[in-house]
Structure 1
């Protein structure tokens, strides 16, 4: 029986009030949990009315805030403005995830210390204000990769250092970026956003290089206090400034070390020579040996030994400054060529830094500098590099050369113009590239599988032949053929740091049993496939869910009913995929089988690659993939619209 219009209106109003009430309750609980993580050093009454009862038990009443520092809209908390309150302690980002409409977070002018909070978990934030605190340390390059809604980022007057995160370039809506008064170093990333209205990096005196063209229209005060910058809007042409070289960026420490070794060797030689002269002195007349007596043929060996040692030391120093090539077909160059090469920072992280080095009248190379390999002996390292150098496959980025020094290592490869899969998936708009369509993504996944299969066949003694598989370690040729990089490095990485650096050590078997297995790369491969199909950055999901269990990208997909995978999981930016939904569903199921947390139940690599090879660009007969989907699922997937909702 149809209800009267008045009854329907009353029900709608009541339902709306219930929804608002539930939302307010959720916001209140989350904010009170957030409050409990804070310490208030000066203004003890700063947050006293949070949850104090009465009408103020709810943070919002419509657009009116009942709690101090709260910004409200339609009964929901959309902003926190907790400035000048003497706050310190831990910033509980997990609790703020329980405030679903939160779009602005300001904690300026407080006393927070340590690394920046993990705000990337608040992917919907539009404004982030953390200026004038005591935050310190490096910011990972990909820190902002999953926060594509950000418009305003204020981190000024802290103690942050290292490179300015490259992921800021990916924020295509960026309006304001304030980084002044920190300790950032290196070059300013190549910002391309025409939307930028306010930008300031002044008084970061270790920055250098040319100011990006898009920023040349800004006021010169945005770059004041930095001698190393050149170009507009400063009145300092870049031809007056020395172009940064790979030597100045990477090799300074090496050059200094070699110089110290040479000085040390000279001191040792002189000391030995003086000692030998003193020992050989004739006590009867106080004369030193003659030149003829110092001749090796005269039987006086001590000075000769000193000379010989100097020669050997010099030879070793010279050898240590040489690059070791592992490919016969590569063009030869030496360390001095790298010292002269102009350089560009491609990325920097805990594991190492990458630099693009354009050799004078020569090829463009990529130099990767690793610090966490200093426990590896020279012979062991050289033998492993030669082993990697012998690998040849269409889907592997070949190692060209390496440089060994006890404290750090350099690995040199060819430069791949199109860049990494990570940039193509998550930062394509910022670099002016189109989104990857379904055929390109399928081609990449199949190529990665072939490269992994080859590694497993050629490196059978390694438990995990790749060990560091992620989207930033998959490079793309112009035709979207993938190239795996950073493979086979587990044997030469310091084990005490490996669990912090390598993807393999993030696997379920390592977290549960402190071990990696032959199927660990399969787990990484499965996560990579999910990232490619969903367009979601895996770091978004590395946290505890509301049940207290750790959730990753695979757990997120698993939490969604299969009948909703087409509408909720697949990346809308793949374009029209209606004729391919069945094959995409098949590939998604294979990925989930690769991500099985129990490695005993997980697919092995050979089986996974074989199944992936069977996936086609377009749907075939139902019988072709009936083993992967029920008839109901097939009918459902074929009837679904291509208008998929996508959020990052």
Structure 2
């Protein structure tokens, strides 16, 4: 009994020193008082719904985590002294608002991990010590403001900096030597920077430096150095001698240029001869009964260096697929289906074989041969009606190829957002989402050791076969994709926990399933999956949540769904499932078993189910009232 009493006393004493959500609520109200045009924060102060349900508040496991006040038209003052009183403020975002003046003194917030100030009207020079002491800061987004002066030295010295985007300002001077090397986001474009690019940044994308006319050096054009001046003499230089020296320098430069041109020509000839021997050129190998390639039909050519690797053949993962030769595949007439962040996708039409899909990957270069073979063989052993089966793979040093079956009816995205968008009726959409759920459930059971069994679940990676059965594509690739590329492009890393805490969870794929459900029902593209979502005012989950919680207005369900009337009640049930999968809190977000079970219960028609209530309006109103405690948010693109 004495021990229990002592424990209770210690627990009470400990909690007394922890700032409560109630304390944070008062601080937030004080912070709001410095803002102008804050109508979007009208529910701040509502104690019945709790601080974590206030607009723009980020919570994790019911603990305050950060502020996300984006696209709200806010102005006034960002009072840093008030923010300093908030417990656990890790992330601060005011993207796309109307804040003006110099950058606030964020260096007081030494525990801040992410700062997003892009698309405002901040201006003036940023002091050199503006980021001093912010040793935990990882993400700095200052793009599309009016900042001037040189890049602050304290920014380049941040020890944990991973993302920096300052494009669209008026920064000038030389680019300082960044101490960081492994950037996920790096963008200095469209400023007034000049001088040579530091060698440590020479491997960056050239687009990171675009719009700075004074920059030179790799990865841009080489800097043109000035000729070395003649030695300074105490006597006045003789003009005739100076002219002679100039002529000699010009002659020497001409000789050097000629030698370089000759060497370049020889290398080019050698390279052409090498390519003729090693590369498979469609023009020379095109069969007579195949239409020559046009601008819409290309060949699948593996680079010469890749073909020189130790595995110059296709590796089949099953015994039931034989007869496809690598050279035959590379010669085949190939239609480009798409080109995404991982590489190009081709529809290859073999002369004496099936139509297949070939995906080229250039971001698996860190994967060793043994590891790649083992993982591909593991994927090849998977067998489920709702997975697009892997037929074969090719391992090269610079790129890899994955060969799959071809799905006759294209991707779900093309049906929802293509030229004939919205043509799928409710029965087909229900069939598709049930297939997606079953395929995802199979992946969860086959990969219990992985946090992301799929990792890249989105509408363009759901393909439809001849009977409109859903087949999941690009699944199970997280272990073999370069980590930095996965974090930047794979949609599971756009979930709240991955975006804010920089690590995915076992429910990150479920977040993607929820987004896919909302996309299927609303017909709207989920803009939060765009890498540079400048045109999007908010993401899909937040938009649906705002309408549902404010009272149904009939704007959520896609009015163009054929056969919608008889199944609207079931569609609302699916909407409820989608929102359950998009819960911000991991504890509140549905698990995969619950989500799949609820999806399986859905019917094509309301008459086949047990929908309660009378009119559609009553049903939809009950949905809105039952979801008042949802606190949906979204990830920063």
Provide the TM-score with structure 2 as the length reference: 0.51
Distance change in 2, residues 1:476/1:541 (3 Å): closer
- 1:368-412 Cα offsets, whole Å, 9 max, x none, are 001111111111110111110011111000000000112211100
Distance 2:403 2:364 in 1: 16
Distance 2:550 2:168 in 1: 40
* 1:344 aligned counterpart, secondary structure: strand
Name structure 2 gaps, 5 residues minimum.
1-72, 77-96, 101-118, 125-165, 171-188, 193-204, 209-287, 624-637
Could you tell me which residue of structure 2 aligns to residue 596 of structure 1?
Answer: 583
Distance 1:472 1:577 in 2: 23
Could you tell me which residue of structure 1 aligns to residue 618 of structure 2?
Answer: 633
1:606 to 588, 593, 608: 593
Contact kept, 8 Å, 1:247 with 1:338, in 2: the verdict is no
- 1:136-177 Cα offsets, whole Å, 9 max, x none, are 969xxxxxxxxxxxxxxxxxxxxxxxxxxxxxxxxxxxxxxx
CA RMSD of aligned residues (A): 4.3
Could you tell me which residue of structure 1 aligns to residue 168 of structure 2?
Answer: 90
Could you tell me which residue of structure 2 aligns to residue 243 of structure 1?
Answer: 293
For 1:89-238, list aligned pairs within 5 A. 90=168
Distance change in 2, residues 1:484/1:544 (3 Å): closer
Contact kept, 8 Å, 1:507 with 1:520, in 2: the verdict is yes
For 1:363-374, list aligned pairs within 5 A. 363-374=354-365
Q: Is it true that 1:524 corresponds to 2:524 in the alignment?
A: no
Distance change in 2, residues 1:612/1:240 (3 Å): closer
Matched pairs, number: 363
Q: Is it true that 1:454 corresponds to 2:442 in the alignment?
A: yes
- 1:60-111 Cα offsets, whole Å, 9 max, x none, are xxxxxxxxxxxxxxxxxxxxxxxxxxxx97299xxxxxxxxxxxxxxxxxx9
Distance 2:443 2:519 in 1: 22
Could you tell me which residue of structure 2 aligns to residue 439 of structure 1?
Answer: 427
1:506 to 477, 490, 494: 494
Distance 1:531 1:444 in 2: 12
Contact kept, 8 Å, 2:434 with 2:599, in 1: the verdict is yes
Could you tell me which residue of structure 2 aligns to residue 411 of structure 1?
Answer: 402
Distance change in 2, residues 1:543/1:320 (3 Å): closer
1:582 to 564, 569, 589: 569
Could you tell me which residue of structure 2 aligns to residue 463 of structure 1?
Answer: 451
Q: Is it true that 1:559 corresponds to 2:546 in the alignment?
A: yes
Distance change in 2, residues 1:465/1:630 (3 Å): farther
Could you tell me which residue of structure 2 aligns to residue 386 of structure 1?
Answer: 377
Contact kept, 8 Å, 1:37 with 1:91, in 2: the verdict is no
Could you tell me which residue of structure 1 aligns to residue 323 of structure 2?
Answer: 332
Distance change in 2, residues 1:320/1:476 (3 Å): same
- 1:605-640 Cα offsets, whole Å, 9 max, x none, are 011000111111111488x345x99997328699xx
Could you tell me which residue of structure 1 aligns to residue 177 of structure 2?
Answer: none
Distance 1:520 1:629 in 2: 36
Distance 2:476 2:531 in 1: 28
Task: Report the CA distance between 1:478 and its aligned residue.
Answer: 2.2
1:473 to 461, 473, 493: 461
Distance change in 2, residues 1:580/1:637 (3 Å): farther
Distance change in 2, residues 1:137/1:476 (3 Å): farther
Task: Report the CA distance between 1:562 and its aligned residue.
Answer: 5.2
Distance 1:576 1:531 in 2: 18
Could you tell me which residue of structure 1 aligns to residue 84 of structure 2?
Answer: none
Distance change in 2, residues 1:592/1:614 (3 Å): same
Task: Report the CA distance between 1:550 and its aligned residue.
Answer: 9.0
Could you tell me which residue of structure 1 aligns to residue 342 of structure 2?
Answer: 351
Distance change in 2, residues 1:36/1:241 (3 Å): farther
Distance change in 2, residues 1:417/1:635 (3 Å): closer
Contact kept, 8 Å, 1:426 with 1:537, in 2: the verdict is yes
Could you tell me which residue of structure 1 aligns to residue 471 of structure 2?
Answer: 483
Task: Report the CA distance between 1:341 and its aligned residue.
Answer: 0.5
